[in-house]
Each structure stands twice: as structure tokens, then as C-alpha cells.
Amino acid sequence: MTLIDGKKIAAEIRSELKAEAADFQAKYAQQVGLAVVLVGEDAASQVYVRNKIRACEEVGIRSFAHFMPTDSTQKSVEDLVCALADDDRVHGILVQLPLPAHLDAERILSCIPRQKDVDGFSAANIGRLALDEEGTVACTPLGVMELLHRSGINVAGKRAVVVGRSKIVGRPMMLLLLNADATVTVCHSRTNELKRICSEADILIAAVGKPHFITADMVKQGAVVIDVGINRIDDKLAGDVDFDRVAPKTSFITPVPGGVGPMTIAMLLKNTLDCARRSVR
């Protein structure tokens, strides 16, 4: 069993991106810029946003942080995002989710032009992914592909099972694996025979959001298991995989924390740099 060290791989990627961001700045006389918008006081979101801003600083990407009060109006948030859309210093715009319940997230996200959609959440970018055309792909599933690639795991021809069908992880994960020539099955809360399907997977991606949901009897001997879950139990982080019992059966497995998590921010930085590069070509 090999433990996939996401923390180490993410640090390597950040150091590569630092050199690439400096090259961009030298060549085009402008710094790569990312705008981050946080509305409200959600504690987890505040931690994520702080980490994103810190990561930008580390690699030499200029961050434009906008913190708005919980009771912000729909119009005030839309006006901000539209202004960022028009700002040439800003190559990527990220609106941290979830937004407060009184706001229409869909309408706010639709103010982000496709070219600055660093999260890859827009219909235009998801459509491009579905058609296997160039565009921006959601950071977490992109991070999973990068972990597989940098661990020397070839997915072509393999049987991949994705558990979870969310817009942010499961669906784009399915498309990325398909585009990489895996044979892909997507399971979800209504799936019959979940255990049998999972136990046929060469590559099992757990993105359910339920702690220790994937148990050893659901995993084939020698499978690759990627755990996307971040669940908080009594202030401790737990993945979607029952790691202690599953790990001995696997060829490769990611831990939580220190697996997929650090890759998400590394891919956000990569997507921002890619958006900047496309803006000048």
C-alpha cells in the first residue's frame, strides 16, 4: 500500500507555479490576479478563503479580497462581481460558496465571465468539459486527476467508480475520468447494489460527504482509493473512507487530511494562471 502524500505534491505544484507566475509577470508586465469574494461569517468559509489568499501570496499571485457583510443585498454582490469582471488586473474571480440563504447564488455566479471562472462552475465551462474541449475545470476533481497522474497511476482502460454526483465534485470527476479513457460508473444515494459496484472498481473515488461511508467490504484488493470527504467529527477531520480498515487492501490511498484537500488550492492557483495566459493570447 502506498500513501499518496497530497500535501507534498501540492507543495511541489505551488513551487512550479511560483516560477510560472514570475515568468508571466516578466513577459507581460502584469501580475497574475485573483479576486476572492466572501459574503458573511461562515467559519469554514473564512478558513478556506484565508488559505486561498495565503497560497496566492506564496506563489506571487496578487489577491483582491472582498469581505461583504451577511446582510449584503443581491444587487451589491452582483455589482461587485460585475466590477471585477471589468477589472483588467483580475484574471480570475472566485465567489466562496455557500452564500447566505437570501442570495440567489446562480445569478451571482452568472456575473462571472467564462474567461474568469476559476472554479469552473459555469455552464459554459462544464459544457466544454463534457465535450472534452479546453476550459476551466473545478479545482477538487482536477486535483484528484493530478494526484493520480503524479503517482504514476494510469486510468485509461480502468474501471473507475465515483460515489457522489455533486456539481462541484462528482459530475466533473466523472467527465475527467471519461476524458482520460476510464470506464466510469457514478453511484449516488439512490444506487442499487452499491457495494457490488464499488467492489468492482480499480479506481474508487469517494465524494459522498458521509464519514467512513466506504468500508473494507466495498473495496477490491489492490484498488486505488481516493477520499474527497472532509467531515468534521468533534473538531477532528474524517474522510468518506474507513481508512484504517480499507488502507491494507489498497495499492494506493489518500489520507484525510493531507490527501485531496491541499490539491484543491493548488489547482485554484493553476486555473488562475491558465486564465491569465488565455487572456493574453
CB of 38 to ligand GUN, least distance (A): 9
List 96, 122, 136, 250, residue binding ligand GUN (CB under 6 A): 96
Asked if 65 interacts with ligand GUN (CB under 6 A), we say no
Q: Which DSSP string corresponds to 73-123? A: -HHHHHHHHHHHHH-TT-SEEEE-SSPPTTS-HHHHHTTS-GGGBTT--SH
Backbone angles phi, psi at 199, to 5 degrees: -75, 0
Residue with grid cell 457583510, as numbered in its chain: 69
Site track for ligand GUN across 121-150, x = CB under 6 A: ------------------xx----------
CB of 99 to ligand GUN, least distance (A): 9
End-to-end CA distance of the chain: 44
Q: How far is it, in rounded angstroms, from Cα 127 to Cα 68?
A: 31
CB of 175 to ligand GUN, least distance (A): 16
Interface with ligand GUN by CB under 6 A: which range of 11-19, 95-103, 194-202, 272-280? 95-103
Site track for ligand GUN across 159-178, x = CB under 6 A: ---------x----------
119, 240, 242, 274: which is the annotated catalytic residue? 119
CB of 152 to ligand GUN, least distance (A): 26
Task: Report which of 70, 93, 89 is spatially closest to residue 80, judged by C-alpha positions.
Answer: 93
Backbone angles phi, psi at 37, to 5 degrees: -115, 125
Peptide bond into 211 cis (omega under 30): no
Q: Which is nearer to ligand GUN, 10 or 168 (CB)?
A: 168
| Residues found near ligand GUN in the complex (CB under 6 A) | 94-97, 119, 139-140, 168
**Catalytic residue ranges:** 52, 96, 119
